[in-house]
Amino acid sequence: MENSMFSSQKSNESFDVIAWLRDFGEVNSSQENKHNFGMEEFESFYSSLCLSSNGQNIRQNEPDNVICQPMDTMNQGCYVQELSTTSSDPTMDSIDQWCYGPELGTTSIDPMKIFYSNQCGTKKVSDVSLRRDVNSESIPIADVLRLAGERYLQFSTRRLDGLSMFIHPYGSAFSELSLQETKEVELMHTLFLAADEVASCQYDVASELIGRCRSKASFTGNPVERLVLYFAESLQDRINSGTGRISPTRMNEIIQHAKGLGLLGDQPEFIAMQKCLPFSQVILMVGIQEIVENVKSASKIHLIDLEIRGGVQWILLIQALSQRKDTKLEVKITAVVTANREKIEATAKRLLSYAGSLNLPLSFKLLFASDMSEIKKEHFRTKADETVVVYGSSVLRSMISRPNCLDNLMKVIRSLNPSLMVVAEIEANHNSQSFLHRFVESLFFYGAVFDCLDDCMDRDDQLRLTLEGTQFGQGIQNTIATEGEQRVTRNVKLDVWRAFFRRFWMEEVELCESSIYQGNLIRKQYARGDSCSIERNGKGIIVGWKGTPILSLSTWKFLRFNPC
């Protein structure tokens, strides 16, 4: 473990998660390699999406096993180094067993019931008026998806070759479509057919359908075309992986091009990205305001960031804390770093410079580790008189496929006894054992994201291309094209995290009204802020775009005894 210390000067009881994972549900080996759906099962599945009026997001066990090798903490990449501003510079059960939470043991698996009940109720899609936004010339991608799904179910018959279709007359909703919107629904319909064929291992037919998608979509086109192409390329990658074929796809090309732009490596552009996406900025503001409220009476504040990235969140906090009149205020940030050392060091120095310009005494410690399983309590060097706050944004989800890391991290955090832990995560279920369920859920989630990008950024914006290629394109590819240990994009919903946190004697803390108020102020500053929603969910919030959940935020404290 390495600690790099920077500083600014003011002007003049243990819980075994692995054992619980094994007890919480048994892996049904008979389900292994049964991820493929036939036509009838897919029709039943998609019908439930459009017609359900209520229900739970039910899951079954994932058969994948994850191999995590324990490491010797002090001898394999975990080290400590103190710097100043003047210095030179064993196979185990899959964690999916808890990711399906209290829903284990049930039989129904309708992954989008709740979403559809919020959007359509018990009506068919064709009976629902399309949600046209006065500020947009097109319908939301979510409506395109629902219309394509209904067309797939009710207006298609297939010959044995899977390619010839007889299309029945459109329903009332279809009659409201423009020519361009009709083309978008047809394109999405073709993508559904391709996914169905991939799930049925009809790879030749699937490849031909994917070819149709490729010919009509573009990475620089409208949001539906962009979305379809990323998913189509990911389907082809899945085919290549399953067959051993070497069939070139444009996914790696676009990802490498986006990386080559280098925009995300430059902190000003990273900050610009955060500012461009309303739901991102809302989550940031609510989380930081909650920390401000928590530490308002503390004179020594120790902030622990589990993945600092561009450090945008701390710019907001530094600004807020600098307004305090407490001359004895001491602030320390410890950032856990597992990659991009030079960039994170540059981030630390920028934050220190900003704090210095505001006369805020700030010290910054970088905790370098090759893996979260190496982290220990003593590495954080907390003091008894410090108020400790832990901040984790989209970091816990990255360890779902590595239970050793998540287990160790949560135990260490509990041992630090923070006054507050802020958790921001993606509010979606991309961890289904069923490929088709995962495919449809991902389409709706990324559809909302691409809708937001189109509403908030120009189509030829190079930063947008970078975001779509690196941040979102890679997530689509990993969710759709991979399985087992390679599939690391395994987002789960807030209720699942709640079930997990309770096992560590954690209690959820009600978000302050002032935090929600700040979030709404930020939302209203955007021209399309009315498309961004902030909804209370228990004691936390869920932030969405045009009705689709995108991110969740919740705050927690650790109890000294087991509440159960």
Q: E strands of 308-393, at which residues?
A: 330-337, 362-368, 387-393
**pLDDT at position 441, please?**
94
pLDDT value at 81 more than 50: no
Question: How many C-beta neighbours within 10 Å does residue 215 have?
Answer: 9
Q: What is the pLDDT of residues 383-400, one digit of tens each?
A: 999 999 999 999 999 899
Token couple for 545 = 């775009």
Question: How many C-beta neighbours within 10 Å does residue 549 have?
Answer: 24
Instruction: Tell how strand 387-393 and strand 420-426 pair up.
Output: parallel
Mean pLDDT on 409-418: 96
Average pLDDT score, the chain: 76
Q: What is the pLDDT of residues 530-561, one digit of tens each?
A: 999 999 999 999 999 999 999 999 999 999 86
Q: Which of 44, 150, 42 is nearest to 435 (CA)?
A: 42
Distances (CA, A) of 26 to 59, 76, 208, 496, 504: 13, 33, 39, 17, 21
Token couple for 371 = 């893996």
**pLDDT at position 245, please?**
77
| Res. 1 pLDDT band, cuts 50 70 90 | low
pTM attached to this predicted model: 0.78
Contact 472, 446 (CB under 8 A): yes
| Res. 447 pLDDT band, cuts 50 70 90 | very high
DSSP codes of every residue in 432-456: -SSHHHHHHHHHHHHHHHHHHHHHH
Q: Which of 226, 228, 227 is nearest to 210 (CA)?
A: 228
**pLDDT at position 275, please?**
78
Q: Which of 386, 387, 410 is nearest to 399 (CA)?
A: 410
**pLDDT at position 383, please?**
95
pLDDT value at 22 more than 80: no
**pLDDT at position 338, please?**
86
Alpha carbon distance 59, 55 (integer Å): 12
Q: Give Cα 356 distance to the centre of its chain.
A: 34
Token couple for 458 = 């120009």
Give the highest mean pLDDT range of 116-120, 431-435, 468-472: 431-435
Least confident of 80-84, 136-140, 195-199, 473-477: 80-84
Q: What is the pLDDT of residues 85-110, one digit of tens each?
A: 333 332 223 344 444 333 322 223 23
Instruction: Identify the residue with better confidence: 276 or 251.
Output: 276
Is residue 409 within a helix (H) or strand (E), and if so which, with residue range?
A: helix 403-416
Instruction: Identify the residue with better confidence: 19 or 448.
Output: 448
Instruction: Tell how strand 300-305 and strand 2-7 pair up.
Output: unpaired
Mean pLDDT on 501-513: 95
**pLDDT at position 87, please?**
32
Mean pLDDT on 13-21: 35
B/e letters for 68-90, b = 16+ CB within 10 Å, e = fewer, are beebebeeebbbbeebebeeeee
Give the highest mean pLDDT range of 58-67, 71-80, 395-404: 395-404
Mean pLDDT on 469-498: 92
Q: Name residue 335's amino acid.
A: A
- Of all residues in the chain, the percent with pLDDT exceeding 90 is 52
Q: How many Cα atoms occupy the beta-carbon half-sphere of 511 within 13 Å? A: 29
Least confident of 39-48, 276-285, 304-313, 510-519: 39-48
Least confident of 153-167, 197-211, 273-287: 153-167
DSSP state of 263: G
Give the highest mean pLDDT range of 46-60, 123-137, 199-213: 199-213
**pLDDT at position 150, please?**
83
